[in-house]
Amino acid sequence: MEEIEPPLPTRLKLYNASNFFDRRAVPPEDLPRIAELARGFATVTVESHANMIGPLTLQFAALLSGRLEVAVGLETIHPVAITHLNKRLELPRFDSAAAFLAHHDIDLRAFVLLGAPYVPAAESIEWTVRTVEYAASRGARRVAIIPVRGGNGELERLEALGDFVPPTLAQLEHALERCRGIKSAVVTADLWDIDRLPACEGCRTQRVARIRAMNLCTGSRLPAPGSCPACA
Ligand SMILES: [Zn+2]
């Protein structure tokens, strides 16, 4: 494996497109070597379903020289949407995983959706903010807001049925702005494929820049909202 030149970034993210603590995804016997390779990073982040957080999580945390952060998809707390989205992940399961991590001094990062199917579009921002607040209240130190993106066919099907409305760039900006009031967690917007989000072309660039600025600055200095004649 190639050595990375110092200074090392402080945070290492190990995303394996699955559950890190699923034994079929990451064999437990690999954990010591992974921890060894991660030496020197202050925090190591892995992704897991809430229901897979357990003894293996503690084992990996103990092997690391830095802190362990587990990223968990909370997605939404909207009562109707949650039953459709991920039947295996119910709120009590998220809660017990969060409590388990807190009890063992392991950090929790949460993923929250903007524009989850079955959440009425007019309430989209509100439910995203509520879900972020929920994650923070359960101890999440970092929360990433992820706008739901189509492209897999299923969302297009739901859209045709009226059960899904693609979230917009403006909604993402507003949701992130409203979350700045939450002091116990750092809240950021996921910028992956940001250019595909529906937006007014007159202010798209401006809004993306403001979201980027908010992602970087969590203090009280909020960049002023732009003024766009096209969507004022
Ligand atoms: Zn505009």
Give the pLDDT confidence score for residue 90 in this predicted structure.
78
Residue 141 in tokens: 């130190």
How high is the pLDDT of residue 227? 81
pLDDT along the chain (232 residues), means of 10: 67 87 93 95 95 96 97 92 72 95 98 95 96 98 94 89 94 95 94 92 92 80 76 72
CA of 197 to the centre of ligand 1 (A): 13
pLDDT at 151: 77
Residue 144 is predicted with a pLDDT of 97
CA of 33 to the centre of ligand 1 (A): 50
Query: pTM of the entire structure?
Result: 0.91
Rounded to the nearest whole angstrom, what is the distance from the C-alpha of residue 176 to the centroid of ligand 1?
18
Q: Which residues surround ligand 1, an ion (CB under 5 A)?
A: 200, 202-203, 228, 230-231
Q: 94: which strand partners?
A: none
Reduced 3-state DSSP string for the chain:
CCCCCCCCCCEEEECCCCCCCCCCCCCHHHHHHHHHHCCCCCEEEEECCHHHCCHHHHHHHHHCCCEEEEEEEEECCCHHHHHHHCCCCCHHHHHHHHHHHHHCCCEEEEEEEECCCCCCHHHHHHHHHHHHHHHHHCCCCEEEEEECCCCCCHHHHHHHHCCCCCCCHHHHHHHHHHHHHCCCCEEEECCCCHHHCCCCCCCHHHHHHHHHHHHHCCCCCCCCCCCCCCCC
Angle among Cα 86, 171, 166 to the nearest 5 degrees reads 50
State the Cα–Cα distance between residues 164 and 178, nearest whole angstrom. 23
Q: Residue 224: what are its φ and ψ, rounded to 5°?
A: -65, 145
Q: How far is the CA of 115 from the centre of ligand 1 (A)?
A: 20
Show the domains of the chain with their CATH numbers: 11-216 (3.80.30.30)
Ligand 1 center to 148 CA (angstroms): 21
For residue 174, the CA-to-ligand 1 centroid distance in Å is 14
* Res 142: pLDDT: 96
